[in-house]
Structure 1
Amino acid sequence: MPTGAKLSQARGDDRPLRTPPHVPIGALRLVADITLDELAVGIAEILTVKQGREATPPSRGTLSAIESGRRGASAELLSAIEEFFQLPAGTITTTYRPRPKARFAA
C-alpha cells in the first residue's frame, strides 16, 4: 500500500482541467501502416454492418480533408473510425459539433 502525503491525499478541484493529448488520425494511420484507401474500405465495411445495407466508402479526398482539419466529420463516421482502429467509443473528440448524418462523396 503506497504511503506519503502526495499519495494519501485525495485530489480536489484545485487544478484546472487541461486539454488531453491529441493524436491525429493521420498519425494513427501511419503507425498502423494503413492507407487512406484501406481506411475508406474499412469504414465502409463497418458502416455496412451497422446500417444493414451496402455503404459507400468515403473518398480519399474526404478522409484527407478530415485529417487535415479542412472538413468536419459526422458522428457516424467518427464512430466508424474509432471502431476501425479498435479505440473505445468516444475516444475521438472534436472542437466542432459533428454533422448528424454522413454524406460521402463517391
Structure 2
Amino acid sequence: MDSTSFKQPKLESSEAFPSVFVRNHREIKEKKKEAADRILKIVNAAWHKGRWSGNEQEYRYEVSILERTISTLTTDIIVLHTSYYEICGRIMDCATWGENEDTYPGLVAS
C-alpha cells in the first residue's frame, strides 16, 4: 500500500477560520436579536389588547428583560462588526501563541 491512498481531507485554511467564526457568531447574535424583537412585539401587543394573563408588574419585568437583552445583543453585534479584523487577529494570535505560557502570563491557570 502506498502512502498516497491515505490523504487527509483538505481542511479550511487556518487563516479563514477566524473570519468564519466571527461571521457565524455575529449571525447567531443577529438571529437572537430578531427573536427578542419579535417576542417584545408579541408581549406588548398582548398587554395593549388586554390579553396579558399577568399583572402590570410581571409585564414590566418581562419587557425590561427583553429590552436589556436586545440592547446587549445590539452592542455585541456592533462590536463584532466594527472590530471584525481585530477580533480575527486576536483569535489567530491565541491560536499561534496561546500554548506559550510566557505570552499571557496573567492568564496562566494556577
Greater fraction helix: 2
TM-score by shorter chain over 0.5: no
TM-score scaled by structure 2? Answer: 0.26
TM-score scaled by structure 1? Answer: 0.26
